[in-house]
Structure 1
Amino acid sequence: MLSKEMVMAIPREARAFELGETKYYMVIVFNAIVCQCFFMGTVGIIFCASSLLSGILIAVLLPVTEILAVIFYREKFQAEKGVALALSLWGFVSYFYGEIKDDRKKKQILVETQVPQDIPNP
């Protein structure tokens, strides 16, 4: 349950927002919609692919948001952000490289185990 102070904090923050109250509420609503879309997409990835892929995509998107913050909000690109970006991209590429390798191995085993259909029986 929300306390009275918490309920009163939102209008107070809206009045103090630099761009105006209307834009404050628009930011809150837009943020809620984007978060819902993100989590629905995450559930969709889990349903259609795997939870591992979902986790990897989330791990890649976190540093991407940091890069977008650097670009759009003019934040400083610190070493921690660079390390986070490099590690998440490494994990992302490693996952897909492993998937491609496994897929090639499965195809090769399938080709080796299939009996050709055009060989006549003696």
Structure 2
Amino acid sequence: MSRRVLIVDDNRELAENLAEILEMEGLEALVMDDPLAVLHAARELRFDAALLDVRMPGMDGIDLLRQLAEHSPDAVYVLMTAFTKEERLAQRDARVRRVLAKPFGPDVLIAALRDVEVVGAGGA
């Protein structure tokens, strides 16, 4: 069974590009672009890892992570941000396994997920 990664970013195009990269690695990707809709569906969502943008309208990725972790405490949480201050803030949360600085390439994404054991050494 492949691992499922929830991708939440208000930039839908970017999220779909990330999903394509993950699917090429054998992962299943679920793309959502509205953090409030994610929360509404949180009880039904099943994922092994979540890739969350920090800066989104309606709710930031750090608050989203905290609420998602109540429903999916065993998931791996990775945050994405283009802002250094947010990156430092996100790293203070023990549930955050990795923070990726935007922009990043596919190799950085896969290496980060490999480091947190979402992607195996030879792919998923």
- TM-score range for the pair, normalised by the shorter chain length: under 0.3
| TM-score, normalised with respect to structure 1 | 0.25
Q: Which has the larger radius of gyration?
A: 1
Select the structure with the greater relative contact order (CA < 8 A; seq sep ≥ 6). 2
TM-score by length of 2: 0.25
More strand by share: 2
